[in-house]
Chains A and B, each alone.
Chain A
Amino acid sequence: MPQSKKKPKVFLIVFIVVVLAATLFPFYWIINMSLQTNIQLFDTPPHFFPPTPTMENFRSVLFEERGTMKFYQAVFNTITVAFATMIVCVFIGSITGYALARLRFKWGIFILFALIGTQMVPPLTDLIPLYVIFSRWLNLIDTKATLIIGYTGWLLPISVWILYGYFKTIPKDLEDAARIDGCTRMAALFRVVWPLSAPGLAATAIYVFISSTNEFLFAMIFSSTYRAKTIPVALADMVGKYQIRYGDMTAGAVIAAMFPVVLALIFQKYLVRGLTAGGIKG
């Protein structure tokens, strides 16, 4: 009897170890490469650990300009755009989510589904006309503002959805009590509902931030210089060029991955809850 019980457990552990190894190895490998010199990268067999760990590639990609490439500027652009998008999405997302979750009005459900519907559309269907609008009519190509506006349109519906779900879980009594004490609805939202929804707000903020830092297609189409180019666009520029140093690209890739990965790990609990809430309850 004990034997038959042991066997599945061993199988389970082996399976989990294999899964974790497969998950970690590709990420480990790019970090491993980024810490080697350009000569070591070409050694056969490849080094499974950096023989003489060096930060040279990071210094090189961040502080040495090659041609038009300004990686540090791309880092700055990415953080600016992601941060601004996050603020806008959390603020507008919460007043919209609040109205849909709490107030009775005719078109509530319709608006909610219209917002979700926007997510079914392939981005390119939307990007072609947006490019015409931004380039020909607004003359807003190659600015960080364009990226912020575009990302807000893309991420606001999801923000509303996550926050709507969260506000629904907050008991209405607390808010009513505040209103009897003379709070206006807006004050009740910001002083009572917001503090109680901190996990939901955090999940939304982190999700928006990560999505903005990682986005590529929109940024590539709407930026042409380092006034607006983000890290993914800078990396894609490197891939297309043969004279680029391999070390620069590996270090650039690690820098690009660091922000979202570290944020996701720190805020894991909130993020997972926010991501999965809509999925289970429907």
Chain B
Amino acid sequence: MAEQKLSLSGRIEKNEGLFAFILVLPALLIVAFLFIYPLTYSFIISFFRSDIRKPGLVFLGFKNYLEIFKRPDLLISFWRTIVFTVISVGLEMVIGIAVAVAFNEKFRGRGLARSIILIPWAIPPVVNGIIWNWLVHPKIGVVNYILTSLHVISRYKAWLADPKWALNIIIIADAWKWTPLVVLLILAGLQAIPDVLYDAAKVDGAGKVRTFFNVTLPLLRWPILITLILRTVEAIRIFDIIYIMTRGGPANRTKLTTFYVWEEAFKHHRMGFGSALAYLVTVLIILFVILYFRTIKREIEM
């Protein structure tokens, strides 16, 4: 009799498993509709010729994938993507950890400093690209002005039109925007380290540098791993800044793989080929993540 007094919702709540399932159902449907179904679909069309302008698919087998390995421009773009990722993420990690350690010290205005560091993180990537476009502008760029005033360069330079410099400028712009995130994540890790450990190191007579390498760094292993993965995944996908700053130029020097994916799929309307290329980018991301996990695991075992 008591059972019958419960409303329908009351009865559902009694069954914990069922109730939980109902609560997660909206999220599951969204993920299924926006990820599982599309990703399956794109994996399938990566074996087909698929043009968005015309209906119908033509089965190609592995031809899309084989074409990628036959095209030198794409292979070079893969290599450049790896170089870009290693250099920009490396730079962001080294500077980010150094800044986090500095920001963990006590100094006046520490709260303000931690606010200021948040600004680049919040700025839209498109705006980041526009800002750096102006800074290195060939006619009115302040970087040109400062460097000529200091006699580092003799006259104004079109940095983004120079094949040797374009990707480096993009790396600098990317590092400016993303180093703050590294600082935030590492700083949080540093704050979780109990002071007792530092006191112990001091008693043992360890200097600041040795304490950093022997106490701090090993304890930051987990935050560093998380940060590395977050930043690597983002760096391999880089698109916005390149679109704003160089559109892949000069001479394709900054055309990294995701830019090709966009170009092939949405400018040349080759959805199947674009999907095949996109899947290889996914594989690249997975390889990086596996590499990190292995390295960190070895560190722990040592």
Contacts and interface: CB of A to CB of B under 8 A. Distances in A.
Contacts of B159: none
Given A26-B176, A45-B145, A236 B42 contact: no
Contacts of A280: 188-189, 192, 222-223
B122 interface: yes
A135 B121 CA distance: 33
B75 interface: no
Contacts of B105: 12
Interface string A70-81: 000000000000
Contacts of B89: none
A23 B116 contact: yes
B97 interface: no
B35 to A, nearest CB: 5
B130 A217 contact: no
A96 B223 CA distance: 26
B121 A264 contact: yes
Contacts of B99: 19
B140 A41 contact: yes
Given A124-B258, A275-B185, A264 B122 contact: yes
B52 A135 contact: yes
A27 B120 contact: yes
Interface in A249-282: 249-250, 253, 256-257, 260-261, 263-265, 268, 271-272, 275-276, 278-280, 282
Interface in A120-150: 120-133, 135-136, 149-150
Interface of A: 8, 12-13, 15-16, 19-20, 22-24, 26-27, 29-30, 33, 41-42, 44-46, 92-93, 95-96, 98-100, 103-106, 108, 111, 114-115, 118-133, 135-136, 149-150, 152-154, 156-157, 160, 184-186, 210, 213-214, 216-217, 220-221, 231-232, 235-236, 239, 249-250, 253, 256-257, 260-261, 263-265, 268, 271-272, 275-276, 278-280, 282
Interface of B: 9-10, 13, 16-17, 19-21, 23-24, 26-28, 30-31, 33-35, 37-39, 41-42, 45, 50, 52, 55, 98-99, 102-103, 105, 107, 113-127, 129-135, 139-140, 142, 145, 149, 176, 180-181, 184-185, 187-189, 192, 208, 222-223, 226-227, 233, 236-237, 239-240, 243-244, 258, 261-262, 265-266, 271, 274-275, 278-279, 281-282, 285-286, 289
